[in-house]
Chains A and B, each alone.
Chain A
Amino acid sequence: MRQETKRTLRRFLRNPSSIIGLSVLIFFTAVATFAPLIAPPINPMDPSRKVSNPYIMPKVTWKGEPIPPSGRSDALKEFIIKGMQKQLYKAKASELVPVVKHVMDRARPGDLCEAYSKSYKIKSQVKAKLLSMVDELEKAGLSDPKSMINSYMPSDFIVVCSEAADMDKDFATYLKSFDADSMSKGDLITIIKYTVHYLSLKDLEKAASKLFGVDGNVLKWMEENGYIKRDPIRTVDYHPFGMIDGRDIMYGVVWGTRTAFKIGIIVTFFGTIIGLLVGSIAGYYGGWIDEVLMRITDVFLSIPFLVAAIVLTTFLGTGLDKVMIAMIVFGWMGTARLIRGNILQVKEEQYILAAKALGVRDYFIIMRHVIPNTIFPVVIQASMRMGSLVITAAALSFLGLGAPTGYADWGSILNYSRDWILGAQGEAFKYWFALAYPGIAMVLFVLSWNLLGDSLRDTFDPRLRG
């Protein structure tokens, strides 16, 4: 036996594909094992604390992290405004009133004028007030303020407005004294839309908190509720794999290795067990039992997997465990067919007949003769499936059936970065890292299992035995 083992080992190790597959897998195993060292599950907001579930990629919130590192407030303001915009149209007019009041309070009069210039109702009121001030404006140096006020050019109107506000305190107060409660929703939105840009970051946050009715850290709240999403960024020093939405991709890829192994091992294990059970009962006993079991298998095989998985998750709910259940329920048929075929073949072997002729009991025949001679192809097939299962899980995650947002799972990360697949305007590959790293990890993982399975098959293929 020792000689045979040596021979098998030699054949295995001489195969370059087995070496490549094995070493990549060893690398992945090491990454999975040492994940807490490579990517410590620490709350980046508060490095003294650990995160409660290391599989949820910890997220950096706005205030704690200098992101984007330069031109911080402008970019941040853009995010907040973007996030608010959706809500503006959704909210009721009464909800917008406090926001408008706040905005009117904090905005510079000139900025208000610009907003008013977009709303004809308000504009006409302001015009009346301005017309009463025409003389003073002329004195202050504006030539023909009257015609400027009546002009159709908004810019003329704004110029007059700003001039008036600068020289006349009363006018400035007047501008802010419009009764927000009596305004139409359109006006409210117009005012907010055209003034928020000019607010300071602090005021903007306040406006947002009034809009959403949130006290405290409104940024965090908006982010958590999906009103703002940060663009992926990559800083070679701190986040070499980049970040999407405040989550470190490297962290996700590292802990995703564990998830990949978990999915692969659990699904393969249970799928193989079910397949073995069905296939071996069908194969060994034959007759109508075989007939019934194989027809059931055919039925399962005829259901498209993705459709079945979607239907199943609507019953069970989404989540990684549900996806795994779906994959087990619809993933045992290959094994069942394989083992049945093998058993049918082995059943005709003379050593089985010899054992029967010796009066050995069925149980021992199965355990000692049938299983050891049929299990190898199943093991090889299982190792091949390991990789492809991760792809299937990723596909389901991509469809939103799998792991929850922020779960360290390669498929989820890809799903997460879906918004940036197309890159930015004019820069198709701006966010390449958001897809590349989890994608590469997945490809390598699948490839290495396939290489390993291939070389196992080559090694143990009985036709190649000398």
Chain B
Amino acid sequence: MIDVENREPILRVKDLKTYFYTEDGVVKAVDGVSFELYPGETLGIVGESGSGKSVTSLSIMRLLDERGRIVSGEIIFKGKDLLKLSEGEMRKIRGNEIAMIFQEPMVALNPVYTIGDQIMEAIILHQGVDEKKAREMAIDLLRKVGIPEPEKRVDQYPHQLSGGMRQRAMIAMALSCRPSILIADEPTTALDVTIQAQILDLMKELQNEYGMALIMITHDMGVIAEVADRVAVMYAGHLVEYGEVHEIFKRPRHPYTYGLLSSIPRLDVEQEKLKSIPGTVPDPLNFPTGCRFHPRCEFAEERCKVEEPEMVEVLPNHYSRCFFWKKLEDLEVK
């Protein structure tokens, strides 16, 4: 377990607001998110579609499309605010110090270049070695991420690899410059469970070896429980709960987290009927007033409709954005 108190975070996101200006109005995709990432730890960001978890990661990388704008906030990485860097300085950090892997490696890999070319490009760009050396390094990396016959695979094109192999190649590319932070955006969602297990295993192994911090973005509570040290739960552009993984899973103090945990079909326990969160995920153009979860919340009261709750520390290093978190004290996740 990581001793949060005595360590300096490698990345600190403060009050990040990322809005999208669409024809239909302003989408407040990320609306005041703050968290820290400590060296070597894994932070899981969990949320449903439209919760803003992917936009958060794209904001850190400053890879938003032209409609998206970071309205306010700070992203402090090694003492520098990434939002104040020029595009050129940012490019040096991107891929080199902070790397990212995506859900669908087929989209992230360029289909007209070989796997080797793409890894070598990153190596040559950031490390300034010659082509021969870069090729050796690329083969080494492919071997390290568990791709069989790397000497052969290095000259293959993305479409010649299976989904799992592509994701491995993607990881190899991300690791090519030994980044201090790796952001993984739903890295296993498109994969089969047996392959997912391989990839998660590999990522854990590599994290130990390289000592990098990992931000794991997923909608799958199972994956979070498997890999994360600390968890940030997002709902409708807000962070609703934030804390150490055992805390979040054993003592959720936000009704959304609680609802989410008890609505998952479980392989390890017998459940009669699934609990479910009523209603639908809110329209990002039109978030509810007050607490954004209140229309679906079983504990909601009048106050929740009008007043927006702040993040409060409900337990040491465990934060929740709920007025009535005490109501959850006696409940147990089944």
Contact = CB atoms under 8 A, between A and B. Distances in A.
Interface of A: 7, 10-11, 14, 466
Interface of B is mostly: loop
8 contacts: A7-B23, A7-B24, A10-B23, A11-B23, A14-B23, A466-B22, A466-B23, A466-B24
A125 to B, nearest CB: 92
How many B residues are at the interface, by size bracket? under 10
Nearest to B22: A466
A405 B32 CA distance: 73
Contacts of B23: 7, 10-11, 14, 466
Interface in B1-32: 22-24
Nearest to B24: A466
| Candidate in A7, A11, A14, A466 with the most chain B CB atoms within 10 angstroms | A466
Contacts, number: 8
A174 B22 CA distance: 99
Interface string B79-120: 000000000000000000000000000000000000000000
Nearest to B23: A11
Interface of B: 22-24
Nearest to A14: B23
Across the A-B interface, the 3 shortest Cβ-Cβ residue pairs:
A466-B24, A11-B23, A466-B22
A10 B24 CA distance: 10
Contacts of A10: 23
Contacts of B24: 7, 466
Given A7-B24, A11-B23, A14-B23, 5 more contacts: A7-B23, A10-B23, A466-B22, A466-B23, A466-B24
A10 to B, nearest CB: 7
A14 B22 CA distance: 13
Contacts of A466: 22-24
A142 B22 CA distance: 102
Contacts of A11: 23
A74 B318 CA distance: 105
A460 to B, nearest CB: 14
B59 to A, nearest CB: 21
A14 B24 CA distance: 12
B68 to A, nearest CB: 15
Contacts of A7: 23-24
A356 B321 CA distance: 49
Contacts of A14: 23
Nearest to B27: A466
A12 to B, nearest CB: 11
Contacts of B22: 466
A7 B23 CA distance: 9
Nearest to A464: B23
Nearest to A466: B24
A10 B23 CA distance: 9
Nearest to B25: A466
B281 to A, nearest CB: 15
B110 to A, nearest CB: 21
A9 to B, nearest CB: 12
A453 B152 CA distance: 48
A4 to B, nearest CB: 11
B287 to A, nearest CB: 16
A322 to B, nearest CB: 47
A459 to B, nearest CB: 11
A10 B22 CA distance: 12
Nearest to A11: B23
A310 B23 CA distance: 49
A76 B17 CA distance: 82
A37 B197 CA distance: 79
B177 to A, nearest CB: 34
Nearest to A7: B24
A63 to B, nearest CB: 65
A7 B22 CA distance: 12
A11 B25 CA distance: 12
A2 to B, nearest CB: 15
B24 to A, nearest CB: 6
A296 to B, nearest CB: 33
A420 B24 CA distance: 55
A253 to B, nearest CB: 38
A466 B285 CA distance: 11
A109 to B, nearest CB: 89
A11 B22 CA distance: 11
